Chain A
């Protein structure tokens, strides 16, 4: 990383002046904390004793045999407390909030996983918690909203713009401009101004570090390829960064959505609809129109439905150190089902993008090769979306009778 949070031409800090001193304070505390062995020990302890780390590396013998190609391993971030990798980051930033003496956290959330993780850690650390969530996402992911509220968080529906993750991020930034004195903005992905991309990717890198150890212990070699879904990019950064510059190929899978039309997908790479831009506090590849207006996005998974991408990944892609690909909604549902039936693992829709990308390429690899796919989260949160995608009629009957108050 170069000075001032730049990653190649991406990153940097482009925030309203009002946030400058708060950002400087965060930078100072973050650097001090990372140099303090007791802080690092606290983070590690919470990751182990609260979230259940290390998460396993699971060999998929059945799936590998079905495809007849590479040996498929899954990094089981779905087995974190809260059911997703988001917990790694909130533990780190939650402890940092306490260290800074702030009493409140705010966060944006797309799928709701980061919102739930933030609400959980806030309850544990005794922090006040406000979550901004696009009204459209609230509709898609109400069960997560339910849990945030039960955990004592205030959930604020964001009704401006496209009512998804980018608007939630804007609204959280607005809150922060008037609340920074006692509030930490706990960003959920490796985007935003310095030091957020580096900080979130750093706390998430425990994923890749564990894969290194587990691969040596279980496979006796480093994986040939690693696949991760890319929305904002925190799970991808987490599993990729410890492998950058090694012989392991790193492949990011974006949301291909319904197709290549404007507003039908959330691909920031391999499309001319995305170009270099600066917004939401940082420079990256943004989906945008010819006037520089950020474009609408679509994905079957709310967590990948984001208009920008981690500046770290944009830079790694430019440098040829990460290969970006994508998976369509339909491929994602098929991959989700295939994994579920072959191995009894219910992956999140977000993670199923990585699975779709991995399975697509695994068949053409040699059985002596090994790939790792990051299962960033578990899929039971997606029960409504998946039941709909699978056109499960009894599920509708159940909802009807539930609403009618019948047993």
Chain B
């Protein structure tokens, strides 16, 4: 079993659920975004997902899209981003740092170079506009022990779930519903469907599962505790920062983390 999956399973021995938190590199500034990442890691967030901004983030909703566009005004460089977040990964060995971005910035950087610069402290990558059919593009990452993190979505047919599970490493990112990031949590009535959905995925893989989209509060995190290994929180932390600055962000992190112990 590889590092990320092993890490999650070990952590889960003592925690009912782990938190995967999301920060956009460069929003509202590079320094402040690094401060936000550090805050999360200091507070004990198990997994940090750092989004390198892209001009056309089609899988993101308005909150993250607008933040990405603002982040781009400071012209962030992927090479520097990888240096910065590798340093964080090295400084906080009890947490794992992941990269998230869209295909084009990574493609232009080159996957071989990316693998070299991510390893060993940035241990996985999420690329929402790269379907599983193109998994071969990411082979250089596998050789460097960097895990491509694939998405599973509701309504996916069995054959395709099997295809994704065949290539799954580190963790599987299960999207809780259709749509883009930053929309409301699922209703109570959807809980059973969710159980069924995750049960189906668990039949095909032993890789840890993360659930994302619509998780905004400690209550939401508790609600899926026991169903998955990792709760992914994105837009909610960003909103907390927008409403209350670094303090508001730290408070939100405390609230969310309270659900993981």
Contacts and interface: CB of A to CB of B under 8 A. Distances in A.
Interface string A223-255: 000000000000000000000000000000000
Contact of A17 (B54, B76, B131): B131
A78 to B, nearest CB: 32
Nearest to B103: A278
Interface stretch (A214-222, A288-296, A323-331, A359-367): A288-296
Interface of B: 54-59, 61-62, 65-66, 69, 72, 75-78, 102-109, 128-134, 151-153, 155-157, 160, 175, 178-180, 183
A13 B69 contact: no
A340 interface: no
Contacts of A18: 59, 153, 175, 178-179
Contacts of B55: 161, 293-294
B58 A173 contact: yes
Nearest to A277: B104
A16 interface: yes
10 contacts: A17-B151, A18-B153, A20-B153, A161-B65, A161-B69, A277-B104, A279-B56, A279-B102, A292-B107, A293-B105
A278 B134 CA distance: 12
A293 B107 CA distance: 11
A174 B104 CA distance: 18
Interface in A145-197: 160-161, 166-167, 170, 173-174, 177-178, 180
A379 to B, nearest CB: 31
Q: What 4 pairs between A and B have smallest CB-CB spacing?
A: A292-B108, A178-B179, A292-B105, A292-B104
Interface string A266-295: 000000000101111100001010111110
A333 interface: no
B180 A160 contact: no
A17 B130 CA distance: 8
A288 B107 CA distance: 12
A160 B62 contact: yes
Contacts of B152: 17
B129 A279 contact: yes
Given A13-B133, A160-B62, A279-B54, 5 more contacts: A21-B155, A167-B56, A174-B61, A178-B179, A180-B178
Interface in A1-30: 4, 12-18, 20-21
Contacts of A178: 178-180, 183
Contact of B56 (A4, A280, A290): A280
B69 A177 contact: no
Nearest to A193: B131
A379 B50 CA distance: 47
Nearest to A295: B55
A177 B56 contact: no
Interface residues of A, number: 33
Main SS class of interface, A: mixed
Contacts of B179: 18, 174, 177-178
Contacts of A13: 131, 133
B56 A161 contact: yes
A15 to B, nearest CB: 7
Given A14-B134, A177-B179, A280-B58, A160 B107 contact: no
Contacts of B58: 16, 170, 173-174, 280-281
Contacts of A294: 55-56, 104
A14 B56 contact: no
B104 A17 contact: no
A21 B154 CA distance: 11
Nearest to A289: B75
A14 B129 contact: yes
Contacts of A21: 155-157
A199 to B, nearest CB: 19
Contacts of B54: 279, 292-293
A17 B153 contact: yes
Interface string A251-263: 0000000000000
Contacts of B160: 20
Contacts of B66: 160
A108 to B, nearest CB: 12
Given A288-B104, A294-B55, A160 B61 contact: no
B108 A290 contact: yes
Interface in A71-85: none
Contacts of A173: 58
A393 to B, nearest CB: 38
A166 B179 CA distance: 19
A400 B65 CA distance: 38
Contacts of B76: 291
Given A14-B129, A170-B58, A160 B69 contact: yes
Contacts of A291: 75-78, 105, 108
Contact of B104 (A161, A167, A170, A278): A278
Nearest to B57: A170
Nearest to A293: B55
B135 to A, nearest CB: 12
Contacts of A180: 178
A407 B155 CA distance: 60
A178 B213 CA distance: 13
A15 B183 CA distance: 20
Given A17-B156, A18-B175, A277 B107 contact: yes
A14 B131 CA distance: 6
Interface string A107-122: 0000000000000000
Nearest to A275: B108
Contacts of B180: 174, 177-178
A160 B105 contact: no
Contacts of B178: 18, 177-178, 180
B69 A20 contact: no
Contacts of B72: 293
Contacts of B156: 17, 20-21
A275 B59 CA distance: 23
